[in-house]
């Protein structure tokens, strides 16, 4: 799982995403990437 995968699932209505495998392969920085992707996506929706 990467940040784009997580954002896609959240866009489709998910409340939670499981990051266990993503954390193993990408490390704790994955959380920041997901948050940044989400913030950028949210800004585009409201502009």
Model pLDDT for residues 2-15, shown as the tens digit of each residue: 778 888 888 888 88
Q: Is 13 left (phi over 0), alpha (psi -120 to 50) or beta?
A: left
| Residue 15 DSSP one-character state | S
Asked if residues 22 and 6 have their Cβ atoms less than 8 Å apart, the reply is: yes
The pLDDT of residue 19 is: 83
Q: How far apart are CA 42 and CA 17, in angstroms?
A: 18
Asked if residues 17 and 6 have their Cβ atoms less than 8 Å apart, the reply is: yes
Mean pLDDT score, 25-36: 86
The pLDDT of residue 16 is: 84
The answer to whether residue 25 scores a pLDDT higher than 60 is: yes
Whether the pTM exceeds 0.85: the reply is no
Q: How many CB atoms sit inside 10 A of residue 32's CB?
A: 10
């Amino acid at each position: 799982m990467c940040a784009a995968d997580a954002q896609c699932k959240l866009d489709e209505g998910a409340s939670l995403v499981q990051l266990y495998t993503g954390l193993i392969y990408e490390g704790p920085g994955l959380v920041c990437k997901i948050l940044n992707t989400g913030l950028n996506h949210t800004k585009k929706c409201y502009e």
